[in-house]
Chain A
């Protein structure tokens, strides 16, 4: 039911863990639904210098988190904000339809983190 790429990112997730010196983080989902993830970002010169994630959830939740970090790394904040759930699913050669909405939350978590970073900036 999962593509090879999904299984690869589930078994060998990229950029998993916490960023000790993260500039911002974003969390979406909740354990009641079975999927919850946090994205940590490190920003330099308006670019995402480093990004990591922690995820509680199914295979698709972990694989989409991993792929989202790969897509986001090195992008400017505005470019990263344009990464959509569909982009993440496409990069993984698709997700089963039932997983598109419940488990494909990583892009949202990334946007949360970026927006949180931007809000901090305006407060300075």
Chain B
């Protein structure tokens, strides 16, 4: 079986062919700058406006509330550094959940160096934010709270609306990083009552190198990219028109196709979770059993290490992610798994399956068929494996 089963879509997705086709003319034919006062400039401006409208529509925002960036990391920077610094008079405390993306964690470290008091709100063993704890931590000195919409590693969906409401009761701003959630679950900034929301193009099957930040009208954010004043002065630099066009089309397609696709992926996800746990002893689901992204399955296998699993699966044409320290630049095990209460040795042996349009039922069955042998081979080699599993 010459197979390529790519199930690491959370790390990098293929661009939808319809998106790519829509982008192509903007590399060559329509190469104008939206700031120019001639027909090529107007063409670029029209494309920019149309994309802004599509992205706004995906999250029920007004087009003027969307700022395009170079990706989710930049959107997080603009949102968190910008809102904290832009509202410093309000107070000196910033709060985040314990399971945020590394970009948010490191931006908060930077805020700490700037003199903000940084507070981390814990999650329960399924990765869900503990609202009672948030209630205890957020006070009138709090400027900003950030809680991701869903965790890209363990898939857990967060009680964003409740967290935002609690935050607003203290007059603080609320940001949510929707990178892993956008394109997977419906997002409505008004219903969720968030002030800032990070969006990612690649997670919508759009191109990499583009993202967006929703900024509720009237919310003050201090810009960091200084230049010609593009994007309403919040993000200077000539706009990446081909990329932005791609994100716009991807957002439109996501809005039209998400419901059916999420239903399809939920079935595949649940088959992986159920099938692997049935086929492999001492395998456990990480994250919440039901409150999870339709495309995410995260399974932990005792006595083996994740990078070795990933390498072995790659040999069989299967590409997945892992929360193992050994596959990380920092050599630290996943902070998300540790925040859920897993021990270090437990956190090493996890695999992350993030599904996408490119996956189907046959591929899922292939994974369920092949993984027991891979785990078994590594367990046979491991000094930790108990006698009965060898």
Contact = CB atoms under 8 A, between A and B. Distances in A.
A30 B343 CA distance: 13
Band of interface residues on A: 20 to 34
Contact of B326 (A7, A30, A57): A57
Contact of A103 (B312, B326, B329): B326
A58 B384 contact: no
Band of interface residues on B: 20 to 34
A36 interface: yes
27 contacts: A2-B311, A7-B311, A11-B315, A16-B380, A16-B381, A27-B383, A32-B343, A32-B345, A34-B305, A34-B333, A34-B348, A35-B326, A36-B383, A36-B384, A54-B381, A54-B382, A55-B382, A56-B384, A57-B305, A57-B326, A58-B308, A58-B324, A59-B311, A61-B305, A61-B308, A61-B326, A103-B326
Contacts, number: 70
Contact of A54 (B311, B326, B383): B383
A38 interface: yes
B331 A58 contact: no
* Chain A CB within 10 Å, residue with most, of B324, B345, B380: B345
A24 interface: no
Contacts of A56: 303-305, 381-384
Contact of B324 (A10, A34, A62, A98): A34
A114 B289 CA distance: 49
Interface of A: 2, 7, 10-11, 13, 16, 27, 30-38, 54-62, 98, 102-103
Nearest to B379: A56
B308 A57 contact: yes
A102 B308 CA distance: 14
Given A32-B345, A62-B308, A55 B329 contact: no
Interface in B223-237: none
B45 interface: no
Contact of B384 (A7, A31, A62): A31
B345 A31 contact: yes
Interface string B294-331: 00000000011101100110010000000011110101
Contacts of A16: 380-381
Nearest to B303: A56
Contacts of A38: 383
B329 A98 contact: yes
Interface in B217-255: none
Nearest to B328: A98
A56 B305 CA distance: 7
Given A57-B305, A58-B326, 8 more contacts: A34-B345, A54-B381, A54-B383, A55-B383, A56-B304, A56-B383, A58-B327, A98-B331
Contacts of A36: 383-384
Interface in B333-390: 333, 343-345, 348, 380-384
Contacts of B324: 34, 58
Contacts of A7: 311
A102 B326 contact: yes
A13 B308 CA distance: 13
A55 B326 contact: no
A43 to B, nearest CB: 21
A37 B382 CA distance: 8
B325 to A, nearest CB: 5
Contacts of B348: 31, 34
A11 B327 CA distance: 17
Contacts of A11: 312, 315
Among all A-B residue pairs, the 10 with the closest Cβ atoms: A58-B326, A31-B345, A58-B307, A56-B382, A54-B383, A32-B344, A34-B348, A59-B311, A38-B383, A56-B384
